[in-house]
Structures are given as C-alpha cells and as structure tokens.
Amino acid sequence: MRYFIELSYRGTAYHGWQTQANGVSVQTTLEAALTRRLRQPVFVMGSGRTDAGVHAQQQFAHFEVEEPIIWTDALLYSINCMLPDDIAIRAIFPVRPTDHARFSAISRYYQYHITRHKNAFESGLTYHFRPALDVERMNEACRILLNHTDFKSFSKARANVTHFRCRLDFAYWERSEANLLTFHIKANRFLWGMVRTIVGTMLEIGQDGMTLDQFDQLINDQDRTLAGRAAPANGLYLVEVGYPDGVLAQRVSPGE
C-alpha cells in the first residue's frame, strides 16, 4: 500500500529535506516518527529536496507499507505529537501504486519573503534587506525571465541533472504590505539553488547594479558566474506542489 503525506515545516533547524550524513534533515525526522508509531521501518520520498534553512508551507511525500492502515484523527494526532513543533503533518491518505510524490508532480510554486524592517517575530522566516529597490525594474526582469526555458545560469554547478530546461508559469514581485516584498514563481521543475539565485540577481537589478540587457544576456550565456549571489535560505518557501487530477482524490484530513 502506498500513502501520500501532506506536511509543512520550518526549515531553520534542518540541513534540508534530504537525509544528510552531517546533520538532521526533515526526511530523517519524519521517518523516525512514522517508524516508531507504525512499528515498522518507514522510508519516505519527497516531492523535492529543499535546501538547508528553506521552509515548506506545503510539501508532499510518499511511503509504502505491506498492510493497509486505518487512518484516524487519533493516529495522525499521535504522529504529530512525536514530531518536533517545526514539522506538522496535515493529512496521510492512500494513492495508487503508480502515484509518485516526486515524479507525478507537475508543478512547484515558491515564494521568497523579504522584510524591509527588522521584525523580532520573523527571525529566520524572512530576509531582512534594507537597501532601496526598484520593484518595477525587478518585475521587468521577471518578464524577461519568462521568455526563457534554459536556466543553467541560475543552477549550482554540481547539479546532477541531464538538462537545465524549466517551464515557468509565472514570476513576479509583489508588495503585500508596506514592509514586506514577496517574489512568486511557479514552474514544472526547479534546478538546485535556482530560486535563491534568481532572487539574488534581481536584488542587484533592483539596486541598479545590473541592467536588464545584462540580465537577458547572462541567461543566454548559461554561465552561473555571471549571476548574482544566492539570497539567504531563510526567506524561501515551498508553497504548493501540483499533481494531475486524481492523485490527490482521497486527500481528506481525519476529522474533516
């Protein structure tokens, strides 16, 4: 039996999603709680690998067990009690044997949050960035970004991929509050470090440190050394993972 998990986490204390030899990961922590509660070894596969310090408002993973499990509100509650406060499971539900948390996903939506003023209650959750920014020019850069499909210039050099093509659905900056600036981006897939490097490069554009023509050219050149430095991990959130119709058909939180 294969089950999907819908969860969220604050990534501050973790060395990313994936199991690491040198630090605590979200995946390892989740597997430990499920193994303990279900009294059998449980290994999970996530929809993607968020970096150290990156957060997820919505993440999906799947695991398999030999026998069906009757999921109740009490069972889900007990697993959440075993997890630390910065990881929360919203639902666990059965899926088809062919449904895969990573390979069945058709889109990922990220946000990057920048606060213009220091906030004691958002430490580790936003990037405090004070220099003046031309948000309109940054949105012009987004329109240029949407004209491209190869994003090698924004990928970490050690990325183990066969190609650097991504299909972007949207990319734009939004001032949701006087002191909060949010970058929205959605695509079918993302490269390792891609969103943070795009944000870091656009912050240079917003400070007039790079022209729009230079931005367009660096994408065409497919050279990571021409892009800006990656923005800090603490402002990045995985917001939504999309799947084809039917994959999430049985997603109902116990008690709803």
Which positions make up the binding site for substrate? Answer: 110
Q: Residue 45 class from Cβ within 10 Å (0-12 exposed, 13-18 middle, 19+ buried)? A: middle
- Active site annotation includes 150: no
Name which of 104, 122, 133, 147 is nearest 201 in CA terms. 133
Taking CA atoms, 166 is separated from 13, 190, 201, in Å, by: 30, 7, 18
Q: Residue 118 class from Cβ within 10 Å (0-12 exposed, 13-18 middle, 19+ buried)? A: exposed
Token output for 74: 């009490």
Name which of 256, 210, 238 is nearest 109 in CA terms. 238
Phi and psi at 60, nearest 5°, equal -120, 150
Catalytic residue among 51, 85, 86, 213: 51
Q: Catalytic site residues?
A: 51
